[in-house]
Structure 1
Amino acid sequence: MILLYTFLAALAGYYICSVQAESRGRGRDFVEDSAYQKRVLLGPYVVLCIWLVLLVGLRSDSTGIDTWNYVNNYNQCVAYPNWDAFRSFLESQNYRECLYWMSLYGMAKLGVPAWGTRFVYGAIAVVPVLVFIYRRSESLLLSIFFYLSLSYYAFAFTGIRQSVAIGLIVLAYLQYEKRRWDLYLLFSVAAIFFHITAAIFLPVILLRWVRMNEITASACVLGGGALYLFRGPIVDWLERIVEKDYSADIGGGNLYVLFLIGTAVLLWIFQWRWIKSEEDQLLFWLACMAAVSYAVVKVSPVYMRATYYYQIFLLASLPNMLNSIPDGLTRRFGKLCYVAAGIYFFFSMVAFSYRITPYEWVLW
């Protein structure tokens, strides 16, 4: 239940800090004042970041749905006697996701234990997301709340390769904001060599020149409809790429689809208030892409997992949009609704679905 306790502690922290800020007579809800929030909460935020990295990095082999598979990968790398034998293995895999295998092989040969590799990968998966939240979110507490409740953090317990790829994609986005196109491509390509689904993020660079108008809004609607109508062939193509059969219905079902679509609509309604830069505009388009592409989830979870490369950026755009609502009562009601939705999705998608409960430390 340790993840549940962490989740509840985040809720308690949200409430206590809000009450403390209001008691000091600042006249504004604590979560609306990002400058004050980041000054006061930097220390606790760093402590929380360290805790989240330790939690995902020091778990036992039995914690997490697919952790055992990565332990087998580690043992497989240890068993290769030399580089030539390992290179033959990479060739047999057509060098698919070779950066994952090469990094795992390198750490294994350096004597890093299996749990140590999970710690390294956990840090790469979690730290970039937390840095992104600190830089771009106007409400650290709301962002952390959504990070824990919407399964993005819990996914690092089971989808190690893809969670690392998501972390690298977030690093690529941070370079995108600074117009460092070489580093953007470097991190994007590195993500693809960890998990091939990261290739879905490469075209995002083209969104820099897209602006919201009647044409682009219509394109979003038509694109979402086309994805739904042709979801079968799309999934067949994706399954040929990953060479696996995904057919289970997971990922939150219709309610989560409505959650993403409703969020994209609200982001559009309040765009004139919260979109203040090209970076905000890109965050909006990423939310739209996450919403329209999620229609395929009813057919295949492989595409649901691929949309995480888009959904992860909701951790900034969603709190920023909520903070921009002009009417105080409507703003608080909107936040209350999203907190309620987060609690629901946590217990329906996270708390008992990723084999994190009971949690076991690797050292005990």
Structure 2
Amino acid sequence: MDLVAALARARSPERPGPDTPAGTAVRPWPGPPLPIPEAGPADLDLQALLRLSLAASDASGRLRPAPSAGALHPVDAELVVGAGCSLPPGRYGYDPLRHRVHRVGLPSDDTPPGMTAELSVTARRTASHYGHRAWPLLLLDTGHAAAALFLAARALGAGEPEARLDGLTENPLAVVRIPPPDGRSPMHPAVSPHVPEPSGGTPTPAELLARRSTPPPLPGAPSHGSLRAVLATAERAGNGDLLRWCAAVGPPRPGLMELTPDGATLRRYAAGEARQTLAAWAACQAWIANAGAVLLAHGCPADADAAHIRRAHLRAGFAVHLAHVTALRHGLAARPVGSWQQADLGAALGAAPGRDWVVHALALGTRHADEENTT
């Protein structure tokens, strides 16, 4: 699969064709489904970890702690389990609909303690609805799934999780390693300053289970402080040398806002109303024109190679996931937006074309759709 050509086509105005069958919602793992045992006092609790990150919470399989374009959930997780876990060491395929695992192999001699989740995708699920626009969405979904595992490990007080989102491999696309608990209290984790985390610190399990994408519309402008917190979270998690971050805001002073270099406040990046243009670029989702604000990840030039494309989209999905948690903590309604066509932000602002594209976004508002409909 030529990812460079696939991204160029996904960014074009070409419309997808009719829907096609999505196939099975879970990879057909071999062997019988196995329950995940209860964890011992010193074990990594895989039952809770997967419940907080990847498991479906409804019979249809649509509702999960990690968002997905069209609720199609293409991400598959193969778990490499070492010592110190509630499952015996080995390789397991995870079934998020039944919250069961299938043993698919033995551990290698160098398997580290804890669990390593290898994330890949079944592209057919997303392509069934989005057609040629699927590949950016598949990568973003994988970044969101990696972030969900990362935050679940934090919430449960596991050892310091590590996410590999370098884009160097096609399969797996991303890897999240989670060591067993090391004695730190989950209420007071020792977090290194460079390690990304939502504003406000480690999330609780209840927060992760309650996180949902707000249905549109999302009216109401976020406060300056809330918007700064969301932007700061995204920048910390999004790798500033790969992506840039800004937010489109409306009246009384419409424009694009970004963090100052010290992160202390916001400054105007460009003047003028951008939300109508963003609505047109985002698969003509008209509601975006009236969103309170739209957080934007941008970069990934047209001449980027496949590794760069994977890395930018994986990191954008990861960062928007953490920013979403921050938004909810500030009382905001929020919804990720992943499908973008002709969204050459740099060219729209007068720079050279093809250098600075919208990669991902998070629409923000202060009033939820159900509240808006009752006023």
User: Normalization by structure 2: what TM-score?
Assistant: 0.33
Q: TM-score, normalised by structure 1?
A: 0.34
Q: Which has the higher contact order (CA 8 A, sep 6+)?
A: 1
Higher-helix-fraction structure: 1
Whichever structure has more strand as a proportion of its residues is: 2
